[in-house]
């Protein structure tokens, strides 16, 4: 396959990214053409190199077909059937071979391989979008084979999460073509999904506190495409349409603030191997009009995301998406991840459904919120604070509400869910010792060098007083002795094992600009003095031996201990704002997809029951403006204690 050949940039239409629809189309075609050498003989499978998932190689090959089938469908629909590369012939042949039970390469049966239920939704969605050019051209016997295969999908066990939308999508397509379906089951699934809704446009991915990109690329994408599909009227889509539209509008008001000025979204949650699928809900807003964002802002955001990943090596030298974040990093694979999994990134190309004359393609790009000024958002549903700074383009997420668990759970912390902080410029170490002893953006009790976990914490308050945002939570700290035979791949939840309890910790974050002030209070009921560690941001660097400036100084004004870590344009400061902080720096290798080496500063405190440790933490670009360090103190005792933070302009923020 030849190298990616992109059109010349258009800086008049796209002053921020230079990219327009022709760039998106070129990348989509490059992705599809690059898959051709990997199609099986009958074209029903796309057998890509890479690790095999828990579902097996046959399922992975089908996954490669089904997920790229979505991308093909977006292209064909957006071009109104024009198909100069002959993609239709390839995918038509694969569809017929995959659904032929007597053929040499049938697809795995959904009743036998659970992953096939996910991919069945991609097939149904693609058939819906390409109906005039594909479905309507099939012979009756061919249609019956497709119906018979899809009709197996709705039966059996489905997990309590976004998978229910896969079943609704398949059953609605079956209803539209006279296939077997169960209206009561569809209505029950819709009601169950409604129970996942929380507030302000945000869904959890199921009954647990799983807030992540599935809210956008699943919980908002499928319903708003579904209401436009044939057959959905029978299930009340007309009444649900305004509800879904209103929620997407609210969601996108928050969502656009998750994207950094360089196009990278905040790196948090599972399935990050889907990369630019994070652009999907933006395109849903453009397709449906269910957004307050301007068309030029939508395209700037989406093109920024796509360009950020493409320029960082998301497509390898063969034009393939691999298991990884930028380039290939197989350790990012979770149990369900196979070589075809990354092609859910196709969802991020949803905008290609829109023709070239649509306003989202014709409008001049407009800046992201972070390019206009500093931003701050409170996401009540997830217990998150979002802070973006214009001078360095970084977005930071502070987490007091998500852990991929429920209150009272006693599992270990999942690095992609349970940290106190995430950003568009960093990612936690994902493998190694951090699974059993959290490293970055943590606050816990130490025993023999191991830090406690916070999963199952109690949520507190979230808010914004106009000067700063604040959030609190109470950690029922615990150590988890796992079996040791877990390879680190999972579905998002932390490891389970033998639990040993530690004292409770009450933690508060007060956030303004690049700074977080984090206060950690040891429970009055703690049996004795405990050693508490509070850690800062993970700073990535390219290789061991990279120059990193680490310094420990005394701030004469506040008498504070300061640790600074700087590498490759990023700087993290961690400051002890209360007495007794003992600084240290942790460095590890091979545990992050964005840097060979990860360095994390931390402070350790000896706390008696009822005492509070306070730190200030900052992540910024090295060249960004230096802002005065905040000052903070804990006032009062026991339940009456409050945290007061004073900022450089003299304003103060107080939280409990």
What is the residue extent of each domain of the chain? 21-363, 372-655
Residue 340 CB partners (closer than 8 Å, separation 6+): 46, 48, 60, 61, 62, 63, 64, 65, 66, 67, 68
What token pair was written down for 576?
């002890």
How many C-beta atoms lie closer than 10 Å to residue 551's C-beta?
11
pLDDT value at position 642? 84
- Collect all residues with Cβ–Cβ distance below 8 Å to 350 and sequence separation of at least 6: 74, 221, 279, 280, 283, 284, 287
What integer pLDDT is reported at residue 548 of this predicted model?
A: 60
Q: For domain 21-363, say whether CATH 1.50.10.20 is its number.
A: yes
Residue ranges for the chain with pLDDT beneath 50: 485, 487-489, 546-547, 555-558
- pLDDT tens digits along 296-336: 999 999 999 999 999 999 999 999 999 999 999 999 988 88
To which residue do tokens 């035979």 refer? 485
Residue 10 has what pLDDT?
97
Report pLDDT digits (tens) over 461-511: 999 999 999 999 999 999 999 865 454 446 788 999 999 999 999 999 999
Comparing C-alpha atoms, which of 491, 488, 523, 487 is closest to residue 505?
A: 523
- For the question of whether the overall pTM of this predicted structure is more than 0.85, the answer is yes
Distance (Å, whole) CA 95 – CA 87:
12
What was the pLDDT predicted at 546? 47
pLDDT for position 623:
79
Question: How confident is the model at residue 629, as a pLDDT?
Answer: 87
Nearest to 370 by CA among 169, 533, 513: 513
Q: What is the 3-state secondary structure (H, E, C) of 42-91?
A: CCCCECCCCCCCCCCHHHHHHHHHHHHHHHHHHHHHHCCCCCCCCHHHHH
Written out in words, the top-level CATH class of the domain with range 372-655 is: mainly beta
The two three-digit tokens of residue 591, written as one number? 């545990």
- Give the CA distances from residue 181 to residues 171, 187, 237, in Å, rounded to whole numbers and listed in that order: 5, 12, 16
Quote the pLDDT of residue 490: 63
Do the domains 21-363 and 372-655 sit in the same CATH topology, yes or no? no
pLDDT of residue 636: 58
Distance CA 108, CA 105 (A): 9
Residue 54: CA count within 13 A, CB half-sphere: 11
DSSP reduced 3-state for 498? strand
For 266-279, give one letter per residue: b (16+ CB within 10 A) or e.
Answer: bbbbbbbbbbbbbb
The confidence score (pLDDT) of residue 576 equals: 94
- In this prediction, residue 488 carries a pLDDT of 45
Contact criterion met (CB below 8 Å) for 183 and 168: no
């Amino acid at each position: 396959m030849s190298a990616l050949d992109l059109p010349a940039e258009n800086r008049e239409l796209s002053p921020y990214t230079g990219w327009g629809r022709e760039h998106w189309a070129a990348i989509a075609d490059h992705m599809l053409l690059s898959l051709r050498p990997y199609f099986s003989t009958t074209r029903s499978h796309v057998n890509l190199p890479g690790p095999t998932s828990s579902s097996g190689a046959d399922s992975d090959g089908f996954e490669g077909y089904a997920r790229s089938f979505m991308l093909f469908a977006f292209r064909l629909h957006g071009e109104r059937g024009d198909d100069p590369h002959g993609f239709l012939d390839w995918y038509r042949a694969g569809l017929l071979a995959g659904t032929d039970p007597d053929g040499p390469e049938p697809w795995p049966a959904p009743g036998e391989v659970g992953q096939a239920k996910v991919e069945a939704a991609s097939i149904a969605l693609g058939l819906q979008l390409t109906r005039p050019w594909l479905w309507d051209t099939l012979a009756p016997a061919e249609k019956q084979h497709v119906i018979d295969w899809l009709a197996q999908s709705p039966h059996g066990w489905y997990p309590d999460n976004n998978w229910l939308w896969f079943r609704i999508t398949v059953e609605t397509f079956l209803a539209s073509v006279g296939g077997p379906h169960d209206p009561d089951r569809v209505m029950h699934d819709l009601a169950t999904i409604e129970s996942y809704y929380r507030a302000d446009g945000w869904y959890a991915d199921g009954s647990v506190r799983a807030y992540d990109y599935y809210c956008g690329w699943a919980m908002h994408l499928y319903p708003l495409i579904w209401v436009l599909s044939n057959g959905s009227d029978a299930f009340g889509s007309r009444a649900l349409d305004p509800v879904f539209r209103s929620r997407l509008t609210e969601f996108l008001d928050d969502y656009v603030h998750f994207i950094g000025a360089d196009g990278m979204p905040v790196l948090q949650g599972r399935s990050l191997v889907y990369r630019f699928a994070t652009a999907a809900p933006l395109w849903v807003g453009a397709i449906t009009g269910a957004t307050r964002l301007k068309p030029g802002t939508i395209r700037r955001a989406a093109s920024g995301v796509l360009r950020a990943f493409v320029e960082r090596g998301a497509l390898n030298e063969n034009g393939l998406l691999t298991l990884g974040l930028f380039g290939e990093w197989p350790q990012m694979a979770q149990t369900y991840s196979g070589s075809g999994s990354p092609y859910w990134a196709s969802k991020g190309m949803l905008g290609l459904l829109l023709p070239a004359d649509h306003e989202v393609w014709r409008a001049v790009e407009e800046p992201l919120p972070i390019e206009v000024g500093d931003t701050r958002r409170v996401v009540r549903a997830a217990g998150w604070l979002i802070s973006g700074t214009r001078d360095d383009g970084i977005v930071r997420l502070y987490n007091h509400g998500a852990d991929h668990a429920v209150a009272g759970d006693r599992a270990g912390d999942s690095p992609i869910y349970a940290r106190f902080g995430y950003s568009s410029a960093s990612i936690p170490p994902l493998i190694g010792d951090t699974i059993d002893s959290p490293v970055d953006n943590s606050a816990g009790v130490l025993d023999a060098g191991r830090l406690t976990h916070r999963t199952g914490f109690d949520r507190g308050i979230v808010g914004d007083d106009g000067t700063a945002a604040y959030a609190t939570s109470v950690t029922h700290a615990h150590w988890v002795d796992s079996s040791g035979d877990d390879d680190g791949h999972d579905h998002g939840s932390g490891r389970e094992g033998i639990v040993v309890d530690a004292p409770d910790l009450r933690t508060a974050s007060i956030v303004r600009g690049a700074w977080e002030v984090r206060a950690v209070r040891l429970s009055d009921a703690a049996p004795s003095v405990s050693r508490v560690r509070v850690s800062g941001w993970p700073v990535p660097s390219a290789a061991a031996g990279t120059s990193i400036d680490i310094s420990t100084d005394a701030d004469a004004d506040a008498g504070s201990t300061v640790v600074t870590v700087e590498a490759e344009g990023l700087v993290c400061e961690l400051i002890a704002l209360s007495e007794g902080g003992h600084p240290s720096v942790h460095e590890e290798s091979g545990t992050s997809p964005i840097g060979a080496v990860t360095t994390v500063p931390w402070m350790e405190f000896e706390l008696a029951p009822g005492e509070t440790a306070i730190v200030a933490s900052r992540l910024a670009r090295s060249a960004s403006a230096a802002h005065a360090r905040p000052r903070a103190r804990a006032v009062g005792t026991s339940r009456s204690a409050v945290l007061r933070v004073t900022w450089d302009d003299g304003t103060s923020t107080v939280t409990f």
